[in-house]
Homo-oligomer: A and B are copies of this chain.
């Protein structure tokens, strides 16, 4: 069980993103933290088991990436010593990037998945830990569940283990994890839906990442209206469901996701790395869908959620570039024949006039929006919206201490007092907003000096 802590008062400048378009800056502020232990980075989609492959993608896209790189590595984590090395490195590294909460896909191995939960608890990272379910013949012989029954009983075994080490899920929560529809039989999907209903546990899976994957789902599940309907009919589209990617959702799929209050984990680095597409995040947000960010390492080349936030901004700028100047030029429908993001219904001039920026510019995510998605947006995705992601009374102290370098430090030259301050250089005249922009675009783990989860210091860079 997580340890109890001393009462502490922290002073300094506190930054948070209370709403999507707001950067809250509390200068010369003090925050008291009691024995139980408030903000920062939440990674709503990361495959801990793929961590050693980070940066290795070749020219693959989703389906051949799985068979070439991913299944062989995941399969090898049947070895507990190897799993221990991989999971320890992944958790240590994500903490060093300021990730206070991560929603992890592990592998199909019960013991290794339980070990991931144990190491998160020991190192103090808030985590959702999912044993990956995958029972059909689309998976390789050497790495798949034997039957729906075995997949369910193994999933129950990991839930029981997490319940035993963290009974109230203060830090670690089991999460029901069908890999994605093409990996699962209908029987397994419906059993997992029933298990989620019975246990009230959260669910994570992938949806609509790649056009070949969508075609495969359509071939495998011919009786379903669309990809989202496969999850819907099997009880897997709930207010506790996190859907990773969701790039190519049709208008009716988006409407269904909104209606079911399911959440979307936007994974921009992975979506670009695997040529999956450009997710129309503004459209999702305009529709009122809850969106957080995931690194999707190792589909994404980095386990840093700060890079995911940066690339969310970059991808949104490419979406803006590809968006016609006039709303009426948008094709109707979610994705046109080129895979470009388009609005569900052409936004009228009157609606567009509500915004001070042009139709194209509205597609861009601002610095504060990128950071919101990486913090409070992620918290909301994972049902932690009342618990972490803001500096508010009653919230838990999940924060990171950020230190930025000064130009006077002599960028890149060593022997400077205080060690390597990283790549952000302040020149003395930056506004707070500009400082935060520099951190978003130029920062890295060297700027993350301390990381706290529930008041406990879980990472420190000296």
Contacts and interface: CB of A to CB of B under 8 A. Distances in A.
Interface of A: 52, 54-59, 85, 89, 92-93, 95-97, 272-278, 301-302, 304, 310, 314, 317-318, 320-322, 324, 338-340, 357, 360-361, 364, 366, 407, 410-415, 420, 423-425, 427, 430, 434, 437-442, 444-446, 459-462
Given A56-B438, A272-B317, A339 B322 contact: yes
A412 to B, nearest CB: 3
A89 to B, nearest CB: 5
Nearest to A52: B427
A57 B441 contact: yes
B314 A340 contact: no
A423 B97 CA distance: 10
A413 B314 CA distance: 30
Q: In the A-B complex, list the 5 residue pairs whose CB atoms are closest, starting with the nearest.
A: A96-B412, A55-B441, A301-B441, A55-B438, A93-B411
Contacts of A357: 59
Tell me the number of copies of this protein: 2
Nearest to A269: B314
A262 to B, nearest CB: 25
A208 to B, nearest CB: 14
A412 B95 contact: yes
Given A85-B407, A275-B320, A339-B321, A445 B412 contact: yes
A59 B366 contact: yes
A93 B406 CA distance: 13
Nearest to A462: B414
Contacts of A322: 322, 338-340
Nearest to A446: B420
A22 B349 CA distance: 52
B317 A275 contact: yes
B462 A314 contact: no
Contacts of A275: 317-318, 320-321, 360, 364
A407 B52 CA distance: 8
B97 A278 contact: no
A317 B93 CA distance: 27
A56 B437 contact: yes
Contact of A93 (B273, B412, B461): B412
B318 A272 contact: yes
